Chains A and B, each alone.
Chain A
Amino acid sequence: MTLSEVVGVDGIAGDFNVTVKESPRYVDVDKCIACGACTEKCPKKVDSEYDAATGKRKAIYVKYAQAVPLKYQIDPNSCIRLKKPGACGFCETVCDAGAINFNDTEKMHQINVGAIVLAPGFEAYDPTEAGVWGFGTNPNVITALQLERYLSASGPTEGHLIRPSDGKPARKVAFLQCVGSRDENLCGNGYCSSVCCMYAIKEAVIAKDHVPGLQTTIFYMDMRTHGKEFDLYLERAKNDSGVRFVRCRVNGVETDGVGGDCRLSYVNEDGRQLEEFYDLVVLSVGLQTPKHVLELAKTADIKLTAANFAATSDFAPVQTSREGIFTCGAIAGPKDIPQSVVEGSAAAAAVSDLLAPARHELTSEPSFPTEKDITGEEPRIGVFVCHCGSNIAGVVDVKSVEDYAATLPDVVYVERNLFSCSQDTQDMITKRIQEQNLNRIVIAACTPRTHEPLFRETLKAAGLNEYLVEMANIRNHDSWVHVQDPKGATAKAKDLVRMAVAKVTYGDSLRPISVPITQKCLVIGGGVAGMTSALNLAEQGFEVDLVEQTDTLGGNALHLKHTWSGEHVPTQVAKLVDKVMRNEKILLHKEARVSAVEGFVGNFRSTVTTKDGKTKVVEHGAGIIATGGEPFTPTEYNYDSITRVVTSVQFDKLFELKEQHVKSARRFVFIQCVGSREGDNMYCSKVCCTHSVQSAIALKKENPERNVYILYRDMRTYGQRESLYKQARKLGVVFINYELHGKPKVSEAGNMVAVEVWDHVLHRPLKIECDLVILATAVRPKVDASDLGKLYKVPVDGHGFFQEAHAKLRPVDFSTDGMFVAGLAHYPKPIEESVAQALAASSRAATLLSKTSVSLDAIKATVDENYCDGCALCVDVCPYHAISLVDRPEGNGKIIRVNKAQCKGCGLCQGTCPKRGVFVAGFTMQQISAQVQAALAV
């Protein structure tokens, strides 16, 4: 349901009644084929929201090229016809599909659901009203979102970076950070938006790639690149791309001269007042909760934080204050894509937990007629040429393509359709297949990426194997891109049809592969992440084997006292342990580790070995690695020799026990980034800034007379944690910035410890004599992570943390199917992010485990026994470890075997094999060769 909003939520968890208001689209989505004829004719132009007002759209439009559903809509606020009945109406005239409906009305829906997930997102801060940056008055001051559009090939300037004031190429660009974030005076948003540092760096690097010689400067307060591999990116931006970084919050932008030059006045780190001129100033705008989301929160009756984000617990990060209502994404605090995607899966896990008893109640299986056996039949190819309204037919001479197709070998039937994808045409194609006894089909229309699944269903409905269809993409790759050249486009369309016919001639009936699933999960690691995953899966009804290396559950959280929001960690961990111990579906293996693994997705067999040498083989369909991390033992700042130099975890214990040295101490120095962000460990440990700030606050609260110093490189109290940083400064904690080249020096000074550091405010070295130095030490990966990784064929990254399949798209999956990752094993993170990731991992595992078997696409590597001579070249190149070398059954040499459950059909084997011994079904050497030959035949 699009253009819809929730206006009422009644009932309780498990039985909600939701009232949804659906605004009129004025376009029938069942009829619209997104040809774009309407938008071309529409005379009304307004600012495009997607282009952040850098470009225009029409009153009838799709928001952007990849919009889902790809259907047009009319904006009633700008449509001439809707504002004045009887006027305009051009879109209706040109719509061949008859999709325009000016009489569309608002509809109300009542929906009965068991759970609700709130994922309404955020809005970017609008810097117009603040005035100081000249946004809205100086056209050369733009937001980062607008820059994104300028840099995009599909943007208003097709990727050329210009000064909006005069269209001249931009040569010097400044980025101003924290616009609409960490600022209570101008916008009231005291929190950090978490994502802007990283996106500014990315944009600066991309802009430099686009424009040779472009100068980019990022003005910032703290560089908050705390995500996985972000610091490496920052270093590359500095050292390889030459992005300049200046630590200063610039207070405003002044317009200089008529050309719209931007003048920035700022104070550099040496305290000198400077003035610089830029062609373009980019405001790195923050994230905030839009008004309509505040209303939604009211409707849903959930609590919000002081910063207007949904309030959640650190141990239940996707659960709102109202039972049965969950969140994911920026509604519960500013966050980046990976974390939002993780939370999406986490919310699904939380919902599955609640609604587990109702699983599969509403699913139904489609039925198809028995499939016809075409073995031995001569090809009888049917070609269907689509007009796509005027999309194809307006450029390509479809009649001549139809005539031409009829002349091709083995083509016995040809027809043209106005819209091949419409339901009536589908029915007609089904009829023709049966009538004409067709056994191979070519659809000359749009892209197989969106429409092949549809036509496969059509073939199935006609009793033909679904893989006997080929599409010729004469729209996206032809009529749309050769509008000015109908002759060339028609010739190309004929070639594309000829290529598709050549390929489909060699097509075969293929069978989807079915893999049985053992509906059990193995979770490795009994920390917060592992326990959360295990418990969620168990509560969804799955059996879980939980393997813990030590004799105690809890992991690293056993050393922690409070989460950033103040929740008591020991209490929560104890609750979690208790729930895990009591759950009958969880089998706990203490003092145990996985020593051997065989199998693959759905069918793993892991050998669990206990300390006393006993082994047990666990069969499981999915596995979650949550083995955690390790605290780093410092090797500098005289940690070894001075007893008054301690780590933050040691300090927590001393503080809690009210140890005399700590209790009576007056001066404390925290040193950040010990073991993080340098040399081979170029990553941020993410938790230490917040941890030190919290400790500093506790010290100050206990005794305001104390002097507490935090020596930091960038204070990374991201998101709503910024409130702690603010509180610490209010309490008088002194924050002193140091750079990597001027690290603090720690030495013994009688009974005290002396810390020397360069003070950037005073511009001289500062010597602090203190009672205690607390080192904010790094989180390290487990030393044996890669050994475990090898067992499951899952990789670790350059730092030794487990490497997910894709940072944004698959943040908890491994590239090996059926294996997932959560917690510190993946990257350092605070508890709420570990819990979210653990829930996400269990959700991903449950998608697999909820079925007794999984059906896979038939596009898989297949061995040709006649040609494979067992050279094994393909074994090494297979990225999915799907190929193994085995003895030939007849005993004469070797042959490869493909595990179809692991194969993704990428065909690296096929590309490597010198003997045609392996091919990918549906993309055989013969099929591709035929296609290439056909491409060049005329």
Chain B
Amino acid sequence: MSFEPKIVAFCCNWCSYAAADLAGTARMQYPHNVRIVRVMCSGMVHPEFIMDALSQGADGVMVLG
């Protein structure tokens, strides 16, 4: 079986989360491996979240803002 990475993305409510919404509206297709966590600003993302995500098995973490 091929490798299916698990990616956690922290998305800012005002920009990247909205962009992900628009990608949907525009029906842009992309792989299903990403799980988005909505935050009110990328500055809210505590380093602990990133460490936690990686230690709990995430293959990649994106902080988008």
Which residues of A line the B interface, CB within 8 A? 36, 65-66, 153-154, 447-450, 473, 475-478, 480-485, 488-489, 491-492, 495-496, 499, 859, 877, 905-908, 910-911, 913, 920, 923, 925, 928-929, 931-933, 935-936
Q: Which residues from 6 to 64 on chain B have a C-beta closer than 8 Å to any C-beta of chain A?
A: 6, 8, 13, 17-18, 20-32, 35-41, 43-49, 52-53, 56-58
Among candidates A448, A480, A908, A935, residue contacting B27 with C-beta atoms closer than 8 Å: A480
Known contacts A476-B20, A910-B46, A929-B52: A154-B37 contact under CB 8 Å: no
Give residues in B with beta carbon < 8 Å to A: 6, 8, 13, 17-18, 20-32, 35-41, 43-49, 52-53, 56-58
Q: Name A65's contact: one of B8, B20, B26, B43 (CB within 8 Å).
A: B26
- With a 10 A CB-CB cut-off, give which of A477, A907, A933 has the most chain B CB atoms: A477
Residues of A close to B35: CB separation below 8 A? 492, 495-496, 499, 935-936
Complex contact A906–B41 (CB within 8 A): yes
A448 contact set on B, CB distance < 8 A: 38
Q: Are A910 and B49 in contact (CB under 8 A)?
A: no
A933 to B22, CA, bound (A): 26
Beta-carbon nearest neighbor of A483 in chain B: B29
10 contacts between A and B (CB under 8 A): A65-B26, A476-B21, A477-B36, A478-B32, A491-B32, A931-B37, A933-B52, A933-B56, A935-B35, A936-B8
Q: Report B-chain residues with C-beta under 8 Å of the C-beta of A36.
A: 27
Cα–Cα distance between A480 and B23 once the two chains are bound (Å): 8
- How far, in whole Å, are A475 and B24 apart by their CA atoms in the complex? 7
Q: A153-B28, A910-B46, A932-B53 are in contact. List 5 more A-B contacts (CB 8 A).
A: A483-B29, A907-B39, A911-B43, A928-B39, A936-B8
CA distance A927 to B46 in the complex (A): 13
- Judging by beta carbons under 8 Å apart, are A906 and B44 in contact? yes
Inter-subunit contact B39/A477 (CB<8 Å) = no
| Bound-state Cα–Cα, A437 to B24, Å | 34
B38 & A932 in contact (Cβ 8 Å cutoff)? no
Whether the Cβ atoms of B44 and A907 lie closer than 8 Å is yes
B29-A481 in contact (CB<8A): yes
Q: Is the CB of B36 within 8 A of A488?
A: no
A495: nearest chain-B partner, CB-CB: B35
Known: A908-B43, A923-B40, A928-B39. A482 touches B25 (CB 8 A): no
**Chain B interface mostly:** mixed
Minimum C-beta distance from B15 to chain A (A)? 11
Cβ contacts under 8 Å, B25 to chain A: 65-66, 476, 480
Minimum CB–CB distance for B5 against chain A, Å: 12
- Give bound CA distance, A762 to B36, whole Å: 65
- The answer to whether A499 touches B37, judged by C-beta atoms less than 8 angstroms apart, is yes
The reply to whether A936 and B29 form a contact with Cβ atoms under 8 Å apart is no
Complex-state Cα separation, A449 to B13, whole angstroms: 8
- Inter-chain contacts of B40 with A (CB < 8 A): 859, 905-907, 920, 923
Residues of A within 8 A of B39 (CB): 907, 923, 928
Contacts of A910 in B (CB 8 A): 44, 46
Q: A447-B21, A476-B20 are in contact. Are A936 and B6 (CB under 8 A)?
A: yes
- Known contacts A449-B17, A477-B24, A911-B43; is A932 also within 8 Å of B37 by CB? yes
Among A473, A491, A495, A877, chain B packs the most CB atoms within 10 A around the CB of A473
Report the minimum CB–CB distance from B49 to chain A (whole Å): 6
Which residues of A sit under 8 angstroms from B18, Cβ to Cβ? 449
Asked if A911 and B8 sit within 8 Å, CB to CB, the answer is: no
B20 contacts A911, C-beta separation under 8 Å: no
| Chain B residue contacts of A491, Cβ below 8 A | 32
Alpha-carbon distance A837/B9, docked complex (angstroms):
40
Chain A residues near B49 (CB-CB < 8 A): 928-929, 932
A66–B39 Cα distance when bound, in Å, is 22
Could you tell me the distance between the alpha carbons of A154 and B24 in the complex, rounded to whole angstroms?
A: 11
Contact A482 B52, CB 8 Å, known A476-B25, A911-B46: no
| Cα distance A485–B45 in the bound complex, in angstroms | 30
Is B21 in contact with A923, judged by CB distance below 8 angstroms? no
Contact A907 B27 (CB under 8 A): no
Tell me the nearest residue of chain A to B22, going by C-beta: A65
Hey, which chain B residues are within 8 Å of A478, CB to CB?
32
Complex A-B, nearest 10 residue pairs according to Cβ-Cβ distance, in ascending order = A907-B44, A476-B24, A488-B32, A906-B41, A480-B24, A908-B43, A935-B35, A65-B25, A476-B21, A936-B56
Q: Which residues on A sit within 8 Å (CB–CB) of B8?
A: 932, 935-936
State the Cβ distance, B8 to closest chain A Cβ, in Å: 6
